[in-house]
Structure 1
């Protein structure tokens, strides 16, 4: 059996001093508990080990931890200036009509009023219409169900961001 070489970014991540590694993780996910769990499990032999650790940490997050993580995400259609990750992930909104953008703003506000946090979806690869349809479908969920959907979506976002972290060149 041949072993897969460790991606250069993963080696670099494993070798980072603790504060720098924490910062890199916190940029991927604003949950301090999630970042600390991943940090404590270093070094990772493979990217899959890192992703599995991320999934396990996501499953253990408390409601407060999830709220902290969600606070790190801007509303769909309004990526934070200077935040290339959210701009890249929300690329599907870039070509949306003014009407669709206004509808998303209204839906985002209604969702936030109902649940107390931004609408969170793994937007990578989704069109503006798909994101709109998702918020429409989810706004009627009971809060407990929506919290679990948010946990799943956040896990997907974290995996994408971790993949970018471990696969990028120096």
Structure 2
């Protein structure tokens, strides 16, 4: 189990900074982003946390974004719950995006819906 799974907002708010950064890093693989979001604690609600997380993504430098994109798996391979045709189409679309824009496509929330628990973080 990843560190951030099942923490809950109050526990996350109470973590020492280094552990909060670690938990966030497991979500996004960006130390800069994780540090900024951790430093914004105490979040009153999950919506506040998610809004802060989204806002901090827009503040990442080009170098941070390139570093983050390099850590992500190919989009067509990340969601076991997708049927093979959908997974293939997503992979094809991601490659086309990369060819057109010169940067890797990063899907914002690829998850296995059987394991996703929206109340846990």
Count of residues in Structure 1 that have an aligned counterpart in Structure 2: 111
Runs of 4+ in 1 over 6 A off after TM superposition: none
Given that 1:92 and 1:128 are in contact with CA atoms closer than 8 Å, whether structure 2 keeps it comes out as no
In the other structure, the counterpart of 2:120 is 168
Q: TM-score, normalised by structure 1?
A: 0.54
2:79 counterpart (90, 99, 112): 90
Instruction: Provide the TM-score with structure 2 as the length reference.
Output: 0.72
Give the whole-Å Cα distance in 2 for the aligned partners of 1:133 and 1:10.
37
* 2:109 counterpart residue number: 157
Deviation per CA, 1:100-127, whole angstroms, max 9, x where unpaired? 8xxxxxxxxxxxxxxxxxxxxxxxxxx2
Report the alpha carbon displacement of residue 138 of structure 1 after superposing the two structures with TM. 1.5
Q: CA deviation at 1:90?
A: 1.7
Distance in 2, Cα, partners of 1:9 & 1:38? 15
Higher Rg of the two aligned structures: 1
Q: Give 1 or 2: higher helix fraction.
A: 1
The match for 2:101 is 142
For structure 2, the residue ranges without an aligned partner over 5 or more in a row are 1-6
Q: Alpha carbon RMSD of aligned pairs, Å?
A: 3.0
Residues 40 and 9 (structure 1 numbering): CA distance in 2 closer, same or farther, change over 3 Å?
same
Higher relative contact order (CA 8 A, sep 6+): 1
Deviation at 1:73, TM superposition (A): 1.6
Q: Return the alpha-carbon distance in structure 1 between the equivalents of residues 99 and 64 of structure 2.
A: 23
